[in-house]
Amino acid sequence: MTDSNSSDKNNNDPAAAARGSQLANDFTVSVHYDRRLYHEDIAASIAHARMLGRQGIVEGDDVEKIVDGLGKIRDEIESGEFEWNPDLEDIHMNVESRLYELIGDAAGRLHTARSRNDQVATDTRMWTQTACSRAFEAAVSLQTALVDLAEQHVDTILPGYTHMQRGQPVVLAHHLMAYFEMFDRDTTRFAQAAESADVLPLGSGAMAGVPYPIDREWVAEELGFSEVSHNSMDAVSDRDFIVEFLAAASLAMAHLSRLAEELVIWSSDEFGFISISDEYTSGSSIMPQKRNPDFAELIRGKTGRVYGSLIGLLTTIKGLPLTYNRDLQEDKEGLFDAADTVIIALESAAGMISGMTVNASRMRQAAEKSFVLATDIADYLVGKGVPFREAYIAVADLSKQCIAAGIGFGELSLADFRKASDLFDEGVMKITLESAVAARNVPGGTAPDRVRAAIAEAKQMLAEAQ
């Protein structure tokens, strides 16, 4: 049962008061992570100060002091000399406090015609645009690695899989180019997220605009924004652009995780399709023969934390009334972590693809020691006028007989084929892995000529993206 006088006792207890103050600091302070916005915060403040001077809102001498002081602060931060004070809560107040120390009362004029609400929204949009650009470039690097490897393996045949069961033969280049397509969609989404972030909120004030003759268009041009926000209430509370970046990052991580899973499987002794370079593997603490695909596994594992950042922010914003609410402080840690994760994952995947060794003979053996030509044999009967479903049944029975006898199609004689259908003739004996892949000569198919054309198109796309 709570003592009715406990509150009074705590009020008179310095230790309790100190604990309460420490809790407030620990719970509300954001400077330990939002100081990553220092470059954007200082750049936006310099542009804002210069605009105030251009508009005659702040005297020119004070503007020069402010700009000079902000430049010194940026140098201090980048040299590691800046002393971050958690008591000042966030990046904005730390910079402003240091500016007072450097230039005195003129520092107080910097915050004219702005609020921390539109200030942090501006900083975060600028940071997100840079993150989108870096993720885009990392994805392009991975695409380049995929195309380079694909170009070397247009004629390397392996089984294509559905349900992790060998299905039809494909060339390795075609398989790799499937991932090129996935990451191409990712680059598009990162570019779209950057476009969404490309709106200047500065000038919206706390929520209603500001009562000064500011020039928002000039600030937008100075900071590289394409347009200014249209509604001040929306501008200070909008975090859709972060959601879009996190969604783009999540899909990129999904694609990376799929690629990583295949690298893990393909590098196993059971498959032996590839060997991942030592740079991206590690040994076991007790099993000296092991080469663990750690980078691929970590990419696969880190996918969940990026998903978590997306779900976390969606949950944060789902019930917020207009306009700014302190809940939005929770937007940045997930953004920073997701950006760091997806960029290093893309870079790691590019390194693995560039450095891995392909065991082409093992891939071909896997295709030869299977029934991946079954569809082509059925299609052969279709070419003789047999309805596909009847041809399917005939070849399915033939496959079962081969499996029971422990042999493959390649070990069957023409007489064996004719037991399944008397429409089989010498032509069925000419069906090979090469003829099967060559037969898929349709747009998007695995025929080598089609794959070469796809690679050429991809190289042109990459050249334009540079």
Catalytic residue among 7, 21, 284, 361: 284
Q: Are strands 165-171 and 227-228 parallel, antiparallel or unpaired?
A: unpaired
Could you say which of 79, 163, 230, 285 is catalytic?
Answer: 163
Query: Tens place of pLDDT for every residue, the chain, 466 residues?
Result: 445 454 555 556 666 655 666 656 678 899 999 999 999 999 999 999 999 999 999 999 999 999 999 999 999 999 999 999 999 999 999 999 999 999 999 999 999 999 999 999 999 999 999 999 999 999 999 999 999 999 999 999 999 999 999 999 999 999 999 999 999 999 999 999 999 999 999 999 999 999 999 999 999 999 999 999 999 999 999 999 999 999 999 999 999 999 999 999 999 999 999 999 999 998 766 666 668 999 999 999 999 999 999 999 999 999 999 999 999 999 999 999 999 999 999 999 999 999 999 999 999 999 999 999 999 999 999 999 999 999 999 999 999 999 999 999 989 999 999 999 999 999 999 999 999 999 999 999 999 999 999 999 999 999 998 7
Identify the pLDDT of residue 9.
52
Using CB atoms within 10 Å of the CB of residue 355, give its burial: 0 to 12 exposed, 13 to 18 middle, 19+ buried: middle
Residue 284 annotated as catalytic: yes
pTM: 0.92
pLDDT value, residue 277: 95
Write down the pLDDT at residue 291: 84
How high is the mean pLDDT of the chain? 94
Alpha helices in 198-231 (DSSP H): 216-223
Instruction: Give 4-7 contacts, CB < 8 A, sequence gap 24+.
Output: none
Residue ranges of domains in the chain, CATH in brackets = 14-109 (1.10.275.10), 116-365 (1.20.200.10)
371: Cβ contacts below 8 Å, ≥ 6 apart? 166, 399, 402, 403, 408, 409
Q: In angstroms, how far is the first alpha carbon of the chain from the final one?
A: 69
- Report how far residue 21's alpha carbon sits from residue 441's, in angstroms, rounded to the nearest whole number: 72
Give catalytic status of residue 48 as yes or no. Answer: no
DSSP H or E run through 179: helix 172-197
